[in-house]
Amino acid sequence: MSSPLVCVLDYGFGNVRSAVRALEHVGARVVLTDDRVIAENADGLVVPGVGAFESVMTGLKQVRGEQIIGRRLSGGRPVLGICVGMQVMFERGVEHGKATDGLNEWPGVIERLQAPVVPNMGWAPVEAAADSVLFDGVRDERFYFVHSYGARSFPLGTTEDTGRFAPPNVTWSTAGAPTPDAPGAGDRFVAAVENGPLSATQFHPEKSGDAGLHLLRNWIATL
Protein backbone atom coordinates (compact mmCIF):
# COMPACT_ATOMS: atom_id res chain seq x y z
CA MET A 1 0.00 0.00 0.00
CA SER A 2 1.38 3.42 -0.96
CA SER A 3 1.74 6.17 1.60
CA PRO A 4 -1.22 8.58 1.78
CA LEU A 5 -0.88 11.87 -0.08
CA VAL A 6 -1.26 14.91 2.17
CA CYS A 7 -1.61 18.43 0.81
CA VAL A 8 -0.41 21.26 3.05
CA LEU A 9 -2.40 24.24 1.82
CA ASP A 10 -0.02 27.02 0.81
CA TYR A 11 -1.83 30.34 1.16
CA GLY A 12 0.96 32.49 2.55
CA PHE A 13 0.49 31.84 6.27
CA GLY A 14 1.83 29.27 8.69
CA ASN A 15 5.11 27.58 9.50
CA VAL A 16 4.57 25.26 6.56
CA ARG A 17 8.06 23.84 6.20
CA SER A 18 8.09 22.35 9.70
CA ALA A 19 4.64 20.88 9.08
CA VAL A 20 5.79 19.34 5.81
CA ARG A 21 8.85 17.80 7.45
CA ALA A 22 6.83 16.40 10.36
CA LEU A 23 4.24 14.82 8.07
CA GLU A 24 6.96 13.28 5.90
CA HIS A 25 8.63 11.95 9.05
CA VAL A 26 5.49 10.01 10.00
CA GLY A 27 5.16 8.41 6.58
CA ALA A 28 3.04 10.67 4.38
CA ARG A 29 3.79 11.83 0.88
CA VAL A 30 3.46 15.59 1.16
CA VAL A 31 2.90 18.36 -1.36
CA LEU A 32 2.88 22.04 -0.44
CA THR A 33 0.60 23.82 -2.89
CA ASP A 34 -2.42 26.03 -3.45
CA ASP A 35 -3.45 24.00 -6.49
CA ARG A 36 -7.19 23.46 -6.10
CA VAL A 37 -7.35 20.06 -7.81
CA ILE A 38 -4.57 18.62 -5.67
CA ALA A 39 -5.95 20.18 -2.47
CA GLU A 40 -9.45 18.83 -3.07
CA ASN A 41 -8.36 15.33 -4.05
CA ALA A 42 -5.43 14.52 -1.76
CA ASP A 43 -6.00 11.86 0.89
CA GLY A 44 -5.63 14.53 3.58
CA LEU A 45 -5.52 18.32 3.69
CA VAL A 46 -3.63 20.28 6.35
CA VAL A 47 -4.57 23.93 6.95
CA PRO A 48 -1.76 25.64 8.91
CA GLY A 49 -2.04 29.14 10.30
CA VAL A 50 -0.18 31.71 12.38
CA GLY A 51 -0.82 35.36 13.10
CA ALA A 52 -4.13 37.17 13.01
CA PHE A 53 -7.52 35.56 12.36
CA GLU A 54 -8.49 38.22 9.80
CA SER A 55 -5.24 37.88 7.86
CA VAL A 56 -5.51 34.11 7.72
CA MET A 57 -9.09 34.34 6.41
CA THR A 58 -7.94 36.83 3.76
CA GLY A 59 -5.16 34.48 2.68
CA LEU A 60 -7.49 31.51 2.51
CA LYS A 61 -9.99 33.37 0.36
CA GLN A 62 -7.25 34.42 -2.06
CA VAL A 63 -6.66 30.75 -2.92
CA ARG A 64 -10.36 29.81 -2.56
CA GLY A 65 -9.49 27.87 0.56
CA GLU A 66 -13.00 28.15 1.97
CA GLN A 67 -14.33 26.37 -1.13
CA ILE A 68 -11.62 23.71 -1.00
CA ILE A 69 -12.27 22.96 2.67
CA GLY A 70 -16.04 23.02 2.23
CA ARG A 71 -15.99 20.62 -0.71
CA ARG A 72 -13.67 18.22 1.06
CA LEU A 73 -15.83 18.11 4.16
CA SER A 74 -19.01 17.72 2.12
CA GLY A 75 -17.43 14.64 0.60
CA GLY A 76 -16.15 13.30 3.93
CA ARG A 77 -12.51 13.88 3.01
CA PRO A 78 -10.17 14.55 5.98
CA VAL A 79 -9.00 18.03 6.92
CA LEU A 80 -6.63 18.94 9.77
CA GLY A 81 -6.42 22.56 10.96
CA ILE A 82 -3.45 23.73 13.04
CA CYS A 83 -3.33 26.79 15.36
CA VAL A 84 -5.11 29.66 13.55
CA GLY A 85 -5.98 26.99 10.98
CA MET A 86 -8.19 25.58 13.75
CA GLN A 87 -9.53 28.94 14.87
CA VAL A 88 -10.91 29.86 11.44
CA MET A 89 -13.10 26.74 11.50
CA PHE A 90 -15.27 28.58 14.05
CA GLU A 91 -18.06 31.04 13.31
CA ARG A 92 -16.03 34.19 13.83
CA GLY A 93 -12.98 35.72 15.47
CA VAL A 94 -12.81 38.94 17.47
CA GLU A 95 -9.47 40.73 17.66
CA HIS A 96 -8.98 44.29 18.97
CA GLY A 97 -12.75 44.77 18.98
CA LYS A 98 -13.16 43.82 15.32
CA ALA A 99 -15.16 40.74 14.31
CA THR A 100 -14.20 38.66 11.27
CA ASP A 101 -16.30 35.84 9.85
CA GLY A 102 -14.69 32.41 9.93
CA LEU A 103 -15.56 29.27 7.99
CA ASN A 104 -18.47 28.50 10.34
CA GLU A 105 -17.89 24.76 10.51
CA TRP A 106 -18.50 25.10 14.25
CA PRO A 107 -20.47 27.74 16.14
CA GLY A 108 -18.49 29.82 18.58
CA VAL A 109 -16.18 32.79 18.86
CA ILE A 110 -12.40 33.02 18.92
CA GLU A 111 -11.50 35.67 21.49
CA ARG A 112 -8.58 36.87 23.60
CA LEU A 113 -7.62 34.52 26.41
CA GLN A 114 -8.32 35.73 29.95
CA ALA A 115 -5.12 34.62 31.66
CA PRO A 116 -2.42 36.25 33.80
CA VAL A 117 0.10 36.01 30.97
CA VAL A 118 -0.79 36.32 27.28
CA PRO A 119 0.32 34.98 24.87
CA ASN A 120 -0.08 31.48 26.21
CA MET A 121 3.29 30.07 25.20
CA GLY A 122 5.01 26.81 26.04
CA TRP A 123 4.32 23.18 26.80
CA ALA A 124 1.06 22.23 28.47
CA PRO A 125 -1.05 19.12 29.15
CA VAL A 126 -4.47 18.55 27.61
CA GLU A 127 -7.72 16.97 28.78
CA ALA A 128 -8.52 14.44 26.05
CA ALA A 129 -11.48 12.08 26.08
CA ALA A 130 -10.81 8.38 26.47
CA ASP A 131 -12.16 7.65 22.98
CA SER A 132 -10.05 10.29 21.20
CA VAL A 133 -8.37 8.97 18.08
CA LEU A 134 -5.85 11.80 17.76
CA PHE A 135 -4.63 11.44 21.35
CA ASP A 136 -4.51 7.65 21.44
CA GLY A 137 -1.24 6.85 23.21
CA VAL A 138 -0.42 10.48 24.10
CA ARG A 139 -3.25 11.58 26.42
CA ASP A 140 -0.80 12.22 29.25
CA GLU A 141 1.74 14.12 27.15
CA ARG A 142 2.37 17.86 26.83
CA PHE A 143 2.05 19.83 23.60
CA TYR A 144 3.49 23.14 22.43
CA PHE A 145 1.15 26.15 22.39
CA VAL A 146 1.78 29.73 21.29
CA HIS A 147 -1.38 31.86 20.98
CA SER A 148 -3.19 34.84 22.47
CA TYR A 149 -6.68 33.91 21.25
CA GLY A 150 -8.76 30.77 21.44
CA ALA A 151 -12.20 29.21 21.73
CA ARG A 152 -13.13 29.61 25.40
CA SER A 153 -16.34 27.64 24.90
CA PHE A 154 -17.71 25.10 22.46
CA PRO A 155 -21.42 25.91 21.99
CA LEU A 156 -22.10 22.86 19.86
CA GLY A 157 -21.42 20.64 22.86
CA THR A 158 -20.34 17.03 22.54
CA THR A 159 -23.70 15.31 22.21
CA GLU A 160 -25.43 17.40 19.56
CA ASP A 161 -25.59 15.94 16.05
CA THR A 162 -24.10 18.39 13.55
CA GLY A 163 -26.35 17.03 10.80
CA ARG A 164 -23.40 15.74 8.79
CA PHE A 165 -21.12 13.99 11.24
CA ALA A 166 -21.15 12.28 14.61
CA PRO A 167 -21.03 14.50 17.73
CA PRO A 168 -17.64 16.18 18.12
CA ASN A 169 -14.92 15.03 20.48
CA VAL A 170 -13.47 18.10 22.22
CA THR A 171 -10.11 18.29 24.02
CA TRP A 172 -9.38 21.12 26.45
CA SER A 173 -6.36 22.84 27.99
CA THR A 174 -5.78 25.74 30.39
CA ALA A 175 -3.91 29.00 29.88
CA GLY A 176 -2.28 30.27 33.07
CA ALA A 177 -2.97 27.15 35.11
CA PRO A 178 -4.33 27.91 38.61
CA THR A 179 -1.84 28.13 41.47
CA PRO A 180 -2.34 28.10 45.26
CA ASP A 181 -1.90 31.89 45.23
CA ALA A 182 -4.31 32.41 42.32
CA PRO A 183 -6.80 29.50 42.31
CA GLY A 184 -9.06 31.12 39.71
CA ALA A 185 -6.38 32.25 37.30
CA GLY A 186 -6.72 29.50 34.72
CA ASP A 187 -8.64 30.10 31.48
CA ARG A 188 -9.94 26.91 29.89
CA PHE A 189 -9.93 26.79 26.09
CA VAL A 190 -10.41 24.29 23.28
CA ALA A 191 -7.13 22.53 22.50
CA ALA A 192 -8.42 20.19 19.80
CA VAL A 193 -11.59 19.01 18.09
CA GLU A 194 -12.38 15.77 16.25
CA ASN A 195 -15.59 15.97 14.24
CA GLY A 196 -15.99 13.42 11.47
CA PRO A 197 -13.48 14.25 8.70
CA LEU A 198 -12.62 17.59 10.33
CA SER A 199 -9.92 17.58 13.00
CA ALA A 200 -8.01 20.54 14.42
CA THR A 201 -5.48 21.43 17.11
CA GLN A 202 -4.79 24.79 18.76
CA PHE A 203 -1.25 23.66 19.56
CA HIS A 204 1.46 22.91 17.01
CA PRO A 205 1.92 19.13 16.67
CA GLU A 206 4.86 19.72 14.31
CA LYS A 207 6.66 21.52 17.17
CA SER A 208 5.56 19.16 19.95
CA GLY A 209 8.34 16.60 19.75
CA ASP A 210 7.58 12.89 19.86
CA ALA A 211 4.07 13.47 21.22
CA GLY A 212 3.20 15.70 18.28
CA LEU A 213 4.62 13.24 15.78
CA HIS A 214 2.60 10.46 17.41
CA LEU A 215 -0.56 12.55 17.06
CA LEU A 216 0.17 13.23 13.39
CA ARG A 217 0.79 9.53 12.88
CA ASN A 218 -2.61 8.83 14.43
CA TRP A 219 -4.23 11.24 11.98
CA ILE A 220 -2.36 9.79 9.00
CA ALA A 221 -3.61 6.33 9.97
CA THR A 222 -7.21 7.53 9.48
CA LEU A 223 -6.68 8.60 5.87
Domain residue extents for the chain: 5-221
The phi, psi pair for 208, rounded to 5°, reads: -105, 30
Q: Which of 105, 141, 206, 214 is catalytic?
A: 206
CATH class of 5-221: alpha beta
**Mean pLDDT in order along the chain per 10 residues (223 residues):** 92 86 98 97 96 96 97 97 98 96 97 92 93 96 97 76 68 77 72 97 98 98 96
pLDDT at residue 177 in the model: 61
Q: Is the pTM of this model over 0.75?
A: yes
pLDDT at residue 13 in the model: 75
208-215, long-range: CB < 8 A, 24+ apart: 208/123, 208/141, 208/142, 208/143, 208/144, 209/144, 211/138, 211/141, 211/142, 211/143, 212/22, 212/143, 212/144, 213/22, 213/25, 213/26, 214/137, 214/138, 214/141, 215/134, 215/135, 215/138, 215/143
pLDDT at residue 216 in the model: 98
pLDDT at residue 116 in the model: 85
7 is catalytic: no
Q: Which of 7, 141, 204, 214 is catalytic?
A: 204
Cβ-contact 213, 28 below 8 angstroms = no
User: Nearest 10 degrees: CA dihedral of 210, 211, 214, 219?
Assistant: -140
DSSP labels, 89-142: TEEEEEETTEEEE---SEEEEEEE--SSSSSEEEEEE-B--TT-STTTTTTT-E
CB atoms within 10 A of CB 203: 27
The one-letter amino acid code at 14 reads G
Q: Which of 83, 105, 141, 147 is catalytic?
A: 83
Q: Find, among 105, 106, 168, the residue nearest to 131 by Cα.
A: 168
Distance, C-alpha 64 to centroid of its chain: 19
